Amino acid sequence: MQNAFKYLKVFLPGLLPLLVFIVADEFLSTTNALIFALASGALVFAFTWIRYGKPDRFILFDTLLLGIFGGISIVLHNDLFFKLKPGIIQIILVAILAISAYSPRNIVLAMAKRYMPDQEIAESQLQQLRQQIKIMFWIFGAHTLLIFYSAFYMSSEAWAFISGGLFYIVAGIWFLVIFIRNKLSLMNTEWLPVLNDKGHVVGKATRDQVHSGSKVLHPVVHLHLFNAKGELYVQKRSNTKKIQPGKWDTSVGGHVSFKESPQQSLMRETKEEIDIIATDAKLLFTYLWESQIERELVYVYALVNDMQPTPHKKELAGGRFMTLAEVKKNLGKSFFTPNFEHEFDMLIKKIDFK
């Protein structure tokens, strides 16, 4: 949601000349207000060109159109041409928003990348942006119709309010709603520690962010639970999981929360997933695991316990003990998760199963 404020900056420079004219026209003559607005447009155009190293065609187009319609209005002593100008500008903007929201080509994103070349957009953020663009399309579309209606049928004062102040009031309310909703969402967000390559905590990120393909390194815990017979308990992942749904996996697996130790995380996850107290679990080894969507530092624990696990129905699709021969028989058949198979190979080298 926070990206919406960044993308709004893309359009504000282009709309500035019109806003300047509306304000200046309250205090100056129409001619002087037009000159003042054109000068502001030229300054913004020059500033963005110097700052970003390329001319902004949207600002140039908006300033030139302002000059053309303002000039016609002054020469003909008819302000209708001038009043139609913001509506025509917004028709172009509405078209850009429509294409970006309802077609594969996201023009808004392409424009934004000119000003934020280092900004990486994850898939989840891209979906949020597209949803915001759809809302902006309907807001701008309704506002454009109001501009045309006010230009023909309403007073100059009403037109000035509708073409300027009204839109910013509505847009401001919308962004305030987004801001509040974003803050409330963050209060319920699960935060995970971000690690450097040495395993030290250097920040935090949300679960969605670490699963977005960003490859942000974060810690997870895995537990391998054995019974007295030497059988290994494996869990079946829920079919609703985003990662490897429906496959068999380690006895317990979960993320380490921010400001939580791996041991604390293991105790919590084991209790939540299979209702076992893992006080005696031993840390065997750690390793780096990287998939297409994430990068993890995995803490691998083992525990021998004859208590019968009770898989949590909301967490897992089930679970059972398997002999090591049965586990080995199902390797390489897409029965287990790739992570489990990689880990099991290291596990049998660490533990004597005889």
Residue 260: what are its φ and ψ, rounded to 5°?
A: -120, 140
Q: Give dist(CA 72, CA 70) in Å, integer.
A: 6
Answer for the pair 99, 130: CB distance below 8 angstroms, yes or no. Answer: no
Q: Enumerate the H helices of the chain as residue ranges.
A: 3-24, 30-52, 57-76, 80-102, 107-115, 123-153, 156-160, 167-187, 207-210, 262-274, 324-329, 338-350
In the prediction, which pLDDT does 1 show? 44
Reference 51, options 128, 114, 118; nearest CA is 114
Alpha-carbon distance 62 to 89, whole Å?
Answer: 7
DSSP reduced 3-state for 299: strand
pLDDT tens, 254-266?
A: 999 999 999 999 9
310: three-class secondary structure by DSSP: coil
- Residue 283 pairs in a beta bridge with 301
| Interatomic CA distance for residues 36 and 21, integer angstroms | 7
**How far is Cα of residue 310 from the mean position of the Cα atoms in its chain?**
36
Mean pLDDT of the chain: 82
For the structural domain made of 193-350, what CATH number should be given?
3.90.79.10
Confidence of residue 352 (pLDDT cuts 50, 70, 90): low
What would the pLDDT profile of 73-113 be if each residue is shown by its tens digit? Answer: 677 666 777 777 777 777 877 888 888 888 888 776 766 66
The residue ranking higher by pLDDT, 114 or 181, is 181
What confidence category does residue 120 fall into, taking pLDDT thresholds of 50, 70 and 90? low
pLDDT greater at residue 192 or residue 122: 192
Confidence of residue 22 (pLDDT cuts 50, 70, 90): low
In tens, the pLDDT along 136-184 reads: 889 889 989 998 999 889 988 888 888 877 877 887 787 788 777 767 7
Q: Cα–Cα distance between 326 and 233 in angstroms, integer?
A: 12
- pLDDT for 193-239, tens place per residue? 999 988 899 998 888 888 877 889 999 999 999 999 999 999 999 88
Q: Which residues fall within 8 angstroms of residue 40, CB to CB, at 6 or more apart?
A: 16, 17, 20
Give the integer Cα–Cα distance in Å for 124 and 136.
Answer: 19
Token pair in block for residue 1: 């949601």
Predicted pLDDT of residue 33: 79
Domain boundaries, given as residue ranges, for the chain: 3-187, 193-350
Distance CA 293, CA 140 (A): 36
Mean pLDDT on 281-289 = 94
The number of CA neighbours under 13 Å toward the Cβ of 124 is: 13
Output the pLDDT for position 12. 58
Question: 261 Cβ partners below 8 Å, 6+ apart?
Answer: none
